[in-house]
Amino acid sequence: MSTVHNSSTSVVKTKGGKEVTKPNIVLDYNNTMGCVDKADQELTYYPVMRKQQKRYYKKIFRHLLEQCMWNAYVLFAKNRDKQLPRAKVEHADFVWMLVDRILTEYLSPADEVRTPGRRSVPHGNPERLTGRHFLEHVPPTERKKDPTRMCVVCCSKTKPDGKKVRKETRFHCPDCDVGLCPVPCFKDYHTKPNY
């Protein structure tokens, strides 16, 4: 795809001496690519596309998505080199930074689908290790004056006999939308990546 070229063509000779008609966009690309197309080479290192993808439109979308991420990385690296010449960020690190930023910016606990009897946020709040969180009582409902919730930290542990621990608490973190015991579960959940 090009926004510079039109549909004009030119007659060129092949290696065998035959004259063929080729679009000018193809001739310009072949003359300026320098034997190795750097963008295509870099995109092969961290592929988003699965090999067994059967829907062609999904392949096209994922390739365009990869190309957009590569273009963003090139612009990021160019601007960063002017500001911090020694601090180089690799392409893989940039992709992780991008994913982390998107999750932090747009994922909220309210977006998750609630399933009865399960944690309301199965993957946790992405800001639970960096944001400011406060412990509160679980608010009363129409049915219960003093409701309780399962503590996600305690319930992630198992007993020596292999059964899961079941512990309920009257406290929760409203930002993360999970039940937590005041001590030590609240601190563990908000400071340890793997609680």
Overall size of the chain counted in residues? 195
What string of pLDDT tens digits covers the 195 residues of the chain? Answer: 778 888 888 898 888 889 999 898 888 887 877 645 777 777 788 777 666 777 888 888 888 888 888 889 988 888 876 666 666 788 888 888 888 888 777 766 554 445 444 444 445 666 666 677 888 889 888 888 989 999 988 888 888 888 888 899 999 988 888 899 998 888 888 888 776
pLDDT at 35: 47
User: What six digits make up the tokens of 24?
Assistant: 């000018």
> What order of strands is seen across the sheet that includes strand 136-137?
136-137, 171-173, 178-179
* Cβ proximity of 67 and 43 under 8 Å: yes
DSSP at 13: E
b/e map 136-161, b = 16+ CB within 10 Å: eebeeeeeeeeeebbbbbbbeeeeee
pLDDT of residue 193: 75
| 1, burial (CB in 10 Å: exposed 0-12, middle 13-18, buried 19+) | exposed
Cα separation of 58 and 55, whole Å? 6
Task: Give the per-residue pLDDT at 50.
Answer: 66
So what's the pLDDT on residue 121?
A: 44
What is the pLDDT at residue 120? 44
Q: Model pTM?
A: 0.43
Tokens of 99: 């994913």
The two tokens of residue 84 are 């911090």
**pLDDT reported for residue 171:** 92
CB 178 within 8 A of CB 189: yes
Number of H helices and E strands in the chain, helices first, is: 5, 7
